[in-house]
Homo-oligomer: A and B are copies of this chain.
Amino acid sequence: MKLYDSAGAPNPWRVKVFLAEKGVAYETVACDMSKGEHKTPAFLAKNPSGKIPVLELDDGRCLAESVAICRYLEGVYPAPNLFGDDAFEQGFIEMRNRQIELELWSQIGTSWVNGPIVAKLGRFTQNPLAKEISDKNVERYYGRLDDEFAAHVYVAGERYSVADISLLAAVNFATRMVALKPSNELKHLWRWHSLVSARPAVQACL
């Protein structure tokens, strides 16, 4: 199978860590977004939303959306389990992953598309007030996470899951590309960050 990837992009990175956790071999296809390679007719046939990553199977079928790709991979390569065992755990991990995406990642994304790097591309109407609000929301959410990591080892409790991969991708992207590094005072958040960053699957993708 082939993964359409772009260096530095946080969403394909999630899938690459997931694949590394599963120990699955795959091919990557570099997609240069600065040249609009994710908006060509050939690419839009694979994903009409014009986004990476896309996983193309050997039979030509394609899947987009990082978490949907990971869900497929979990079905085909069940070990190690990253989406939960019983029905409640599956629901709980999905809840935590969605909270990270909808409450934190969405805000980092708003700060990103209204920040200086994307402004230079000239593809989005810039909205400085939106960035001002989302910057504050990100800071506030980091504080919530720090409190949660004072009580629990991982995002979804006491076990590693896809939700940890989502949060690590979000924090690293926010730190490196959006100037939204969590404060050094958030010791529980950084404790979690060190723990997850030390995993061999994560190290292999850094």
CA gap between A91 and B90 in the complex, in Å: 15
Query: Any chain B CB within 8 A of the CB of A75?
Result: yes
Q: Which of A20-28, A31-39, A66-74, A165-173 lies at the interface with chain B?
A: A66-74
**Most B C-beta atoms less than 10 A away, residue of A48, A74, A76, A94:** A94
Task: List chain B residues, Cβ under 8 A from A90.
Answer: 71-72, 75
Contacts of A92 in B (CB 8 A): 63, 68
A197 at the interface (CB under 8 A from B): no
Most buried by B among A98, A103, A129: A98
Q: CB of A81 within 8 A of chain B?
A: no
CB proximity to B under 8 Å, residues A145-187: 148
Give residues of chain A (2-52) contacting chain B, Cβ–Cβ below 8 Å.
48-49
Q: Which of A74-133 contact B (CB under 8 A)?
A: 74-76, 86-88, 90-92, 94-95, 98-99, 102-103, 106, 125, 127, 129-130, 133
Number of interface residues of A (CB under 8 A): 36
Query: Main SS of chain A's interface residues?
Result: helix
Inter-chain contact B106/A91, CB cutoff 8 Å: no
- Chain B positions within 8 Å of A144 at CB level: 48
**How far apart sit A104 and B203, CA to CA, in the bound complex (Å)?**
35
- A56 interface hit (Cβ, 8 Å): no
List residues of A whose CB falls within 8 A of some B CB: 48-49, 57, 61, 63-65, 67-69, 71-76, 86-88, 90-92, 94-95, 98-99, 102-103, 106, 125, 127, 129-130, 133, 144, 148
